């Protein structure tokens, strides 16, 4: 006889410019979610302003909590919150609210590493078993990670300078496309010729899984400054730039698969997460390559690729399977600079 016990967690995410609250259960049901993005308050400054983000989290957190029915709040088994990495102001807001709720409702409190939550999110939406490979491509990170369990993350390679998202944002800024640059640049690339401009592919000749995007960024900016008056420049350049990033990511994933093969590690699933995963061209190219290797490309929906509390809740539930959480332990230390595998 199987006895199914439903466990629920209330989770809070506030590490950057999204305030999000969710209730998730161990049967992968997102019972409740509210995510409010602050982008419009940062737009004029060309990037996220930490002080504005912190104040927005305070205001919005209050509002989203008031919207959450008390009955639902009382029904959860755990409270979880992102404790890092991220901007300190937002992390303090989220952690303090979670701590307050845990004390008030007498629930165990689970601090969650935001990056690990991203990497575990494929398991929230599909039947993905350990170990699996994930490409994390966001504004702050670019890394290829082998996820061995809910607690073990092996970094096969990461960027030695800029992240892919940063490269998109900086190049888009020079093109005058505003912030965030990634989605705007993707739009510009529609109908462009991906082979019209030749861009460098730093570090792709070395057979490792590390990335470098700063040289590509500098070369791209130089091209913009010298060719921007040409006919159809924007769409041809944006298309070529996107093609370059996509092919770099593909080469490095290829290297990662070789590393796994050498170590006799068999994976059935691959996933891509973080903001850049929203890019259709990158998704298409990587999916095609991964499927050609007889590996399943597990797609995380857009709403769960960007910052959200559902993945934080899911991470807490994954941990709850292996760790017994103590009540009356309300330690949560907002930490801006934790690593993927901390």
CB of 93 to ligand KG4, least distance (A): 17
Residue of 80, 122, 113 lying closest to 340 (CA atoms): 113
CB of 145 to ligand KG4, least distance (A): 14
Residue from 165, 192, 313, 334 that binds ligand KG4 (CB under 6 A)?
A: 165
- Residue 180 as a binder of ligand KG4 (CB under 6 A): the answer is yes
Please name the residue ranges forming H helices in the chain: 39-42, 50-67, 70-74, 88-105, 114-120, 122-125, 164-174, 181-188, 214-227, 233-262, 280-292, 302-305, 309-320
Given 89, 90, 108, 181, the residue binding ligand KG4 (CB under 6 A) = 181
If you compute the radius of gyration of the chain from its CA atoms, what whole number of angstroms results? 21
- Does residue 237 bind ligand KG4 (CB under 6 A)? no
Residue 203 near residue 210, CB atoms below 8 Å:
yes
Least distance to ligand KG4, CB of residue 331, Å = 26
Q: Which stretch binds ligand KG4 (CB under 6 A): 31-39, 99-107, 150-158, 181-189?
A: 181-189
CB atoms within 10 A of CB 139: 22
Residue 140 within binding range of ligand KG4, rule CB under 6 A: yes
Q: How far is the CB of 118 from ligand KG4 (least distance, A)?
A: 7
Alpha carbons 111 and 127: distance in angstroms, whole number: 25
Q: Using CB under 6 A, which of the segments 20-28, 107-115, 135-143, 217-225 binds ligand KG4?
A: 135-143
Task: From 145-153, 182-190, 201-209, 284-292, give the range in contact with ligand KG4 by CB under 6 A.
Answer: 182-190
State the chain's maximal CA–CA distance in angstroms: 72
Rounded distance between C-alpha atoms, residue 22 and residue 94, angstroms: 13
Check residue 138 for interaction with ligand KG4 (CB under 6 A): yes
**Residues with Cβ < 8 Å from 215, sequence gap 6 or more?**
200, 202
* 182: contact with ligand KG4 by CB under 6 A: yes
Rounded CA separation 10/116 (Å): 17
**155: nearest Cα among 141, 168, 139:** 141
Cβ proximity of 337 and 42 under 8 Å: no
Choices 77-85, 106-114, 136-144, 308-316 (CB under 6 A): range interacting with ligand KG4: 136-144
Shorter beta-carbon distance to ligand KG4: residue 122 or 181: 181
Using an 8 Å Cβ cutoff, are 54 and 93 in contact? Answer: yes
Q: To the nearest whole angstrom, how small is the minimum distance from the Cβ of residue 15 to ligand KG4? A: 8
Instruction: Specify the stretch interacting with ligand KG4 by CB under 6 A; choose among 28-36, 61-69, 146-154, 276-284.
Output: 276-284
- Closest contact distance (angstroms) between CB of 180 and ligand KG4 is 4
How far apart CA 225 and CA 306 sit, in angstroms, is 32
Q: Pick one of 60, 307, 334, 340: the residue that binds ligand KG4 (CB under 6 A).
A: 307
- The first and second tokens of residue 269, run together, are 């699933």
Of 169, 243, 269, 285, the one binding ligand KG4 (CB under 6 A) is: 169
Does 84 bind ligand KG4 (CB under 6 A)? Our answer is no
Question: Considering CB under 6 A, how many residues would be counted as binding ligand KG4?
Answer: 19
Stretch that binds ligand KG4, among 95-103, 229-237, 261-269, 275-283 (CB under 6 A): 275-283
In contact, 66 and 52? CB cutoff 8 Å: no
- Smallest gap from residue 146 Cβ to ligand KG4 (A): 20
Q: Which residues bind ligand KG4 (CB under 6 A)?
A: 16, 138-140, 165, 168-169, 180-183, 186, 274-276, 278-279, 306-307
């Amino acid at each position: 006889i199987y006895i199914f016990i439903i466990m629920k967690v209330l989770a809070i995410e506030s590490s950057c410019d999204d305030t999000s609250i969710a209730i998730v259960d161990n049967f992968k049901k997102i019972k409740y979610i509210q995510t409010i993005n602050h982008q419009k308050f940062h737009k004029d400054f060309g990037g996220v302003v930490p002080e504005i983000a912190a104040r927005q989290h305070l205001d919005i957190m209050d509002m989203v909590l008031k919207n959450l029915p008390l009955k639902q709040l009382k029904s959860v088994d755990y409270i979880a919150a992102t404790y890092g990495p991220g901007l300190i102001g937002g992390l303090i807001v989220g952690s303090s609210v979670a701590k307050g709720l845990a004390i008030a409702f007498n629930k165990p409190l689970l601090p969650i590493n935001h990056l690990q939550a991203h990497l575990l999110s494929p398991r929230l939406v599909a039947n993905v078993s350990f170990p699996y490979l994930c490409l994390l491509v966001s504004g702050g990170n670019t890394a290829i990670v082998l996820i061995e369990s809910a607690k073990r993350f092996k970094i096969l390679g990461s960027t030695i300078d800029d992240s892919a998202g940063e490269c998109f944002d900086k190049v888009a800024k020079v093109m005058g496309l505003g912030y965030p640059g990634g989605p705007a640049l993707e739009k510009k690339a529609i109908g462009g010729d991906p082979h019209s401009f030749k861009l460098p592919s730093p570090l792709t000749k070395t057979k490792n899984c590390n990335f470098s995007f700063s040289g590509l960024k500098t070369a791209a900016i130089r091209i913009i400054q010298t060719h921007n008056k040409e006919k159809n420049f924007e769409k041809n350049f944006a298309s070529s730039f996107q093609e370059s990033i996509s092919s770099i990511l593909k080469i490095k994933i290829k290297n990662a698969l070789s590393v796994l093969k050498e170590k006799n590690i068999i994976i059935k699933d691959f996933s891509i997460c973080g903001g850049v995963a929203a890019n259709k061209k990158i998704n298409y190219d990587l999916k095609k390559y991964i499927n050609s290797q007889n590996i399943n490309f597990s797609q995380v929906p857009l709403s769960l690729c960007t910052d959200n509390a559902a993945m934080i809740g899911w991470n807490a539930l994954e941990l709850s399977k292996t760790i017994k959480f103590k009540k009356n332990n309300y330690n949560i230390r907002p930490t801006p600079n934790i690593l993927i595998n901390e």
